[in-house]
Each structure stands twice: as structure tokens, then as C-alpha cells.
Structure 1
């Protein structure tokens, strides 16, 4: 998919990352992959969320089981894929026109609030999906829309200013921009932005967990 996206957006649409020293195909692929791996983590977790409880009815009906762990397992599985992708990205950056620096050590700090946010949303959707079976049908097109309304295939700076708000409310936009900043541009993270995102992530995790625990009593009645 990375090869296809690189060909379509890099060769056909001639997308470029302005202001960077990288202009070749491999350079564009590295910048694209930096955004794609963040989106893929988000998409994998939310795409699986509606079926997490529905696909494990025995844990609900027949045994005493901490159901909230199922969402944690799903997020951890996606996080493993994300970490492997980060290694692949580092190799890609090494062989491209970009350069790796010590700033790459900021990546875990950037990902932590994002993981908390995704975990909270996963808990919420997993519980909601038990009662509203059509949630999965809504999630799929919503994720596709979020893919194109996030700076995966192009830099945020290329978005018209009057439309920037539409991208900034996308929860993956800030994280994508920060990962690119530290891995490709050797910039320090936006500390104030990360603090705000951390607060949002903690709030998301807490609210998602509370919603899950409040609704789990009714799971057995509808499964």
C-alpha cells in the first residue's frame, strides 16, 4: 500500500513536502509512511472496536471475566504493529534524503497521550457496538474520510487556511505532525500541544472506561 500511495500521490499528483531537503521518491515515501503508520494504528483500533464484545459472547455470559481487558488487548496488538512500523520507518529514513537524529527519542513521548486517547475511544465504541449493531457500518466510512482529512499524503501547510480547522479537529493530525517533526525535521515536540493532548487522552481513557463499566451490566441481555 505504501508503494501504491507513493506512486499515486508522489508521481501522479506530484505531492511534495515543502521546506524539506527531501524531494525523491524514497523521501516522499518516508514522509508519507510517518503519517500512515499513525493513521493505521488509529484505524485498526477503531475498526475492531465494534466487534470486540460481540465476537466474545462466552466471556460475557458464561464466565466472570474483566471485559475491559479485551479493548486493552486490541490496542496493545495495534501498538505492536505501530512499533514495528516505526522501526521500518527508521530504516526508510536512513536510506532516504532525510536523516535520523537524537530527536527520534521523543517519539514514545508523543505516542503515549495518543494511545490513551485511542484506548478511551475503543472502550466507548466497544460498549456502544453491543447495543447499536450498525456502529461498525458507520465507523468504516468515517475512518476513510479521516484518512483524507488528515495530513497523511501531504503536509498540513498545503491545506488552505480557511479549511485548516477541519484538519485540526482530526485527532490524528497533531500526532502525525509531531512524529514528522521529530523524525524528519529534527525539531523538538510542541510541549504545550502535547500537554493539552495528554489531558484529552487521560479524559478520553477515563470517560471511555466509565462508560464501558456503566453499560457492561446490560451486555448479557442483548447478546
Structure 2
């Protein structure tokens, strides 16, 4: 068990280091990239189109439009990078597939953890800005829980996609399409309260929508998460994770033959 934990740590650290090796800014890209994206979206939606964030949705001033969008981007970028990489995690390491003793689930798990590292840097930056503007809140203690639930969900998706990605190569371009759709079908640039009532139930089935909305409540409204909604997402994530691990272990026997 300790050997696997050490191996997971080594692969996660290597993945993080490989992102910045040879670059001048290094880990600074983890901060600069979301800031640039935030600046562009804020300029377009708030500056050009004059979109206003409904005050009633969060009880904060319009000045926080950029921060509201930034929360959605932190969650969405975490999701998008994981499902974008997952289908090729096994196929890109054929030398490890042939090693019977190598624990292949380490590959998707380390990929999710290294991506989570970047997401936490982005979230830490957001907390610094929010602290300067409004001061900290006790409800911020729920943020690690929300990020933990999101990480569980993405671990499950990574196991499913990395296993199926070996056999079905169409999954990779399909994830690009799904990522584009999810950007607009998740409340990133708008609050969940602005969705028509007849579609609220459908949005409730989108775990990203639930997590983004709950993070905004915790950060800006000083409210604790909706524990029932969060509990449902957690339960679904755990079930998907258990099934994904079982599926991965079942399909891994044929990885070497396909590759």
C-alpha cells in the first residue's frame, strides 16, 4: 500500500513538474492562464455586452461580476482538463501497460491530482481577492469539502474514460464536443437562478451546476452549502468511482492486446 502511495506521489509530482519544465514563468502559468481568461470574458460579457450579475442571486454588488465568473471557470477548467486528458492516459503509456506489476489506476489518479493542484492555486488566488474586497467568512470552511466532492467525481470520470479510451478512439474528439457544450450548459457566466423554472430540474442533474452554485453561495453569500444537493452529488460520485474502478480492472486485461 505504501509502495503504491509513493508511486502515486512520484507520478503526480512528475506530471506537475512536466507542465512547467523549460518555461520562463513556471508555476506562474497556473495563475496567469485563468486570469487572462477571466479578463477576456469579463471584457466581453460585462464590458461590451453590459451583462449584469443579478444582485438578488447572491446579495453582492455588481463589482463582483468577474469573481462570480471566475468561480465557474475554476470548476469548469478542472473538469475540462481532466476529461480532455483522460481518454489518452493509457494509450500514451504503452510501455507501462505491458508491465504486469504496474498499478495502472495510478495514471488517471495522478492526472486528476496534478490538475487539482492547479485548481487549488486558482482558488487560493480567488480567496485572496475576495478577502481583500469583502473579508473572510466562516462558510469558506466548506470549500475543501466542495473541491473534494468535485475531485471524487473527476476521479470517477477519469477511470471510465481512460479505460474506454483504449478501445474506443472516438471518445477523445467526443470529449472536445462535450466540453464545449458544458461550458454553456453550466452556470459559469450566469447564476442558476436565471435558468427558467421548467429547466431547473434538468440543471440539477448537472453536478458541475450544483458545485458551482454551492461554491458561489459559500464564497459570496455567506451561506452554507445545500447539504442534501451536495450529498446526492457525493453519493453519485462514489458510486461512479466504485463502478469505474471495477470497470477499469476488468478491461485492463485487454489493454496490451489493443495497444
Which residue of the partner structure matches residue 98 of structure 2?
Answer: 61
The answer to whether residue 139 in structure 2 is matched with residue 139 in structure 1 is no
* Count of aligned pairs between the two proteins: 220
- Residue by residue over 1:7-34, the C-alpha shift from the partner in whole angstroms, topping out at 9 and shown as x without a partner, is 112122323332222212xx11111111
Mapped to 1, the partners of 2:217 and 2:207 lie a distance apart of: 17
Which residue of the partner structure matches residue 50 of structure 1?
Answer: 87
Q: Which residue of the other structure, out of 186, 195, 205, is the alignment partner of 2:222?
A: 186
Cα offset, 1:164, TM superposition: 2.6
TM-score (ref. length: structure 1): 0.94
The answer to whether residue 74 in structure 2 is matched with residue 37 in structure 1 is yes
Q: Which residue of the other structure, out of 194, 204, 219, is the alignment partner of 2:240?
A: 204
Could you list the runs of 5+ residues in structure 2 that have no partner in the other structure? Answer: 1-36
Q: Is the 2:149–2:237 contact (alpha carbons within 8 Å) kept by the matching residues of 1?
A: yes
The residue correspondences of 1:109-124 to structure 2 (distance < 5 A) are: 109-124=145-160
Q: Is the 2:60–2:220 contact (alpha carbons within 8 Å) kept by the matching residues of 1?
A: no
The residue correspondences of 1:38-187 to structure 2 (distance < 5 A) are: 38-62=75-99, 64-96=101-133, 98-187=134-223
- Residue by residue over 1:95-134, the C-alpha shift from the partner in whole angstroms, topping out at 9 and shown as x without a partner, is 44x4431211110112222211111111000000000111
Structural RMSD (CA): 1.4
Off by >6 Å, runs of 4+ in structure 1: none
Mapped to 1, the partners of 2:40 and 2:203 lie a distance apart of: 23
Higher RCO (CA < 8 A, seq sep 6+): 1
Assess, with a 3 A threshold, how the Cα gap between structure 1 residues 165 and 191 changes in structure 2: closer, same or farther: closer
- Larger deviation, residues 160-169 vs 140-149: 160-169
Could you list the runs of 5+ residues in structure 1 that have no partner in the other structure? Answer: none
